[in-house]
């Protein structure tokens, strides 16, 4: 991930701040990311199969029969983080963690480098306190979540690299 040719610092139009963000990891030469795409497809298929068949929730009423996967990578150090954002084109999003610094841990009271659901962008005039759901990433963890849920990364605050591979499940057809 660290040497991917599309990796750039703070690309415009992305949520990454003070960090590196890649382009499409499936662009040739895709290398190991082609195999990783198969792993993601298997996990997404298992997730879809786990959904109750007659769920009345509007999100589950839109399960895509066919989909593609968009995959990119993020490398954060120092004050690197992701601002609150959603993925408007996706149905399901995910994040995999191949490398996490030692300081990103359950015992860190500042939750540096944690993934957090629920905090909207500052541009929204939210008057109530958001229901936050922080998650401490660990190497090998794969998170799946609806693409419409706001999420962010709490600034990493370390010199070690926090590497994540993010993806969207995009409905097709």
Convert the pLDDT of each residue in 115-128 to its tens digit. Answer: 999 988 877 777 88
What would the pLDDT profile of 52-72 be if each residue is shown by its tens digit? Answer: 877 788 888 889 989 999 999
Which of helix, strand or coil describes residue 34? helix
* pLDDT for the residue 130: 86
**Average pLDDT of the segment spanning 43-57:** 87
What would the pLDDT profile of 17-30 be if each residue is shown by its tens digit? Answer: 999 999 999 988 88
Contact 7, 22 (CB under 8 A): yes
**Mean of the per-residue pLDDT values of the chain:** 92
Confidence of residue 160 (pLDDT cuts 50, 70, 90): very high
- CA 105 vs. chain centroid, Å, equals 18
* pLDDT for the residue 105: 93
Residue 93: pLDDT above 90?
yes
Cβ-proximal residues to 123 (8 Å cutoff; 6+ apart), any chain:
none
DSSP summary character for residue 149: S
* pLDDT for the residue 90: 96
The CA distance from 61 to 43, in Å, is 19
Domains of the chain: 8-171 (2.60.120.620)
* pLDDT for the residue 97: 97
For 45, the enclosing helix (H) or strand (E) is helix 32-50
The CA distance from 136 to 139, in Å, is 10
Confidence of residue 173 (pLDDT cuts 50, 70, 90): confident
Residue 114: pLDDT above 80?
yes
Residue 93 to residues 22, 90, 97, 108, 167, Cα–Cα distance (Å): 16, 7, 14, 26, 6
Residue 111: pLDDT above 80?
yes
In the chain, beta strands by DSSP E: 8-9, 16-21, 67-85, 92-99, 115-117, 133-135, 142-146, 151-153, 158-171
Confidence of residue 80 (pLDDT cuts 50, 70, 90): very high
């Amino acid at each position: 991930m660290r040497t991917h040719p599309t990796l750039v610092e703070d690309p415009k139009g992305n949520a990454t701040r003070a960090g590196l963000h890649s382009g499409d990891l499936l662009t040739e030469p895709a290398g190991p990311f082609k195999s990783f795409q198969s792993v993601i497809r298997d996990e997404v298929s298992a997730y879809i199969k786990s959904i109750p068949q007659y769920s009345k929730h509007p999100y589950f009423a839109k399960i895509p029969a066919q989909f593609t996967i968009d995959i990119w990578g993020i490398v954060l150090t120092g004050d690197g983080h992701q601002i609150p954002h959603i993925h408007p084109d996706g149905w399901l999003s995910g994040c995999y963690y191949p490398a996490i610094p030692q300081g990103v841990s359950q015992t860190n009271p500042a939750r540096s480098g944690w993934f957090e659901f629920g905090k909207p962008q500052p541009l929204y005039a939210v008057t109530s306190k958001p229901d936050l759901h922080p998650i401490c990433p660990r190497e090998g963890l794969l998170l799946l979540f609806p693409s419409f849920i706001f999420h962010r990364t709490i600034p990493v605050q370390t010199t070690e690299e926090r590497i994540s591979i993010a993806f969207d499940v995009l409905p097709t057809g």
